[in-house]
Structure 1
Amino acid sequence: MSGQVRWFMPLIIILLLTTVGCSNDEPSQSTDTLEMIKVQLMVPDKVSTQDDVALQIKLTQGGQPVDDADHVQFQVWNEKDEPAAPAVDQGMNPEDLEAQGAITAQSTGDGIYEANYAFEETGVYVVQVHVTAGAMHAMPRTKVTVESASGN
């Protein structure tokens, strides 16, 4: 009988290890993470004070366009007048951004969101977009140089 136990024990150990190994693989497959959203700002580098400028982004996730973002808002300020950052416990919700003058963008399809903006004074401006899609939030920014309409 002891010969049978010696032969049977390694088989039981192999079966247990195989079962444990397979059960460890399953949770990793079921907890796949979502791909991050990708926001491509499409804003001109230079504009004129007379121009009505289309501020645009292209929003994708996993290489596919996203047309159902929860919120897309553009915030524009002169680089000399950067707004105060919100308190850590406060966050920055769409209503707070709107109260600070942010412009809500509309989807035009194919992952493109657009809002029109007219720069009234010359200078260097920061254009930051706040995008919320599901549980993801992105806030890329760029700079725009605004020159007078007469070129001065």
Structure 2
Amino acid sequence: MKNKLGLAGVALLVVLALAGCGSSGGHDGMNMDEGMMEPLKVDLSLTPEQAKVGEKVSIEAHVTQKDKNVDKADKVEIEIVKEGDSSVHEKVPAKNAGDGKYVLEKTFDSAGDYKITSHVTYGPQHTMPTKTLTVSE
């Protein structure tokens, strides 16, 4: 009888311990309640949208999560690839301009179509929207 009561007591303790593991109380590491897993949104814009050789282009990635600006992204890089010319390929860090905006100003030396991709990493998320920029003579 004592053996059955002892076994029942141990089983009760195990059940209570496991129930505690499912609580959403504070803990070290990523807290899902803080919205870290909300989708990261990146609005990539080019100004101007079509450029001429030698003209400065502003490439901006506006990063938000849950409709709030993300001012401390882990990494924001702009990848530039000229279509049809694999020798023109670079990845450059964008500067944090505040209010969730990360900016790179770039001048293009030759005409053509360029794929502009922003690589944004924030926590466990990475997103990379792409736009095409046409540069003419």
Cα contact 2:81–2:90 (8 A) shared by 1: no
Taking every aligned residue pair, what percent have the same amino acid on both sides?
Answer: 32
Task: Please state how far the C-alpha of 1:50 moved relative to its aligned partner.
Answer: 1.8
Give a deviation string over 1:94-136, Cα, whole Å, max 9, x none.
xxxxxx6311101111111001111110011110111101111
Q: TM-score, normalised by structure 2?
A: 0.70
2:64 alignment partner in structure 1: 60
Mapped pair 1:122 → 2:111: yes
Change (3 A) 1:146 1:112: same
Aligned counterparts, 1:33-48, within 5 A: 34-43=37-46, 44-48=48-52
What is the match of residue 113 of structure 1? 102
Q: Which has the higher contact order (CA 8 A, sep 6+)?
A: 1
1:120 & 1:38 partners in 2: Cα distance?
Answer: 31
Residue correspondences, number: 108
After superposition, the CA RMSD in angstroms is 2.3
Following superposition, the deviation at residue 77 of structure 1 comes to 1.2
Counterpart in the other structure of 1:131:
120
Gaps of 5+ in 2: 1-18, 25-30
Match of 2:4 in 1: none
Q: Secondary structure at the match of 2:106?
A: strand
Give matches, 1:1-152, under 5 Å. Answer: 34-43=37-46, 44-81=48-85, 101-148=90-137
Counterpart of 1:120, as a letter, is: D
1:67 and 1:49 map into 2 onto residues whose CA distance is: 32
Is contact 2:64-2:100 (8 Å) kept? yes
Amino acid at match of 1:138: T
Q: Which residue of 2 aligns with 1:17?
A: none
User: What do residues 43-84 of structure 1 show as CA deviations (whole Å, max 9, x unaligned)?
Assistant: 14201112121111100000000010011010111111358x
- Report the TM-score when normalising by structure 1: 0.63
Give distance in 2, aligned partners of 1:81 and 1:108: 31
- Of structures 1 and 2, the larger Rg is shown by 1
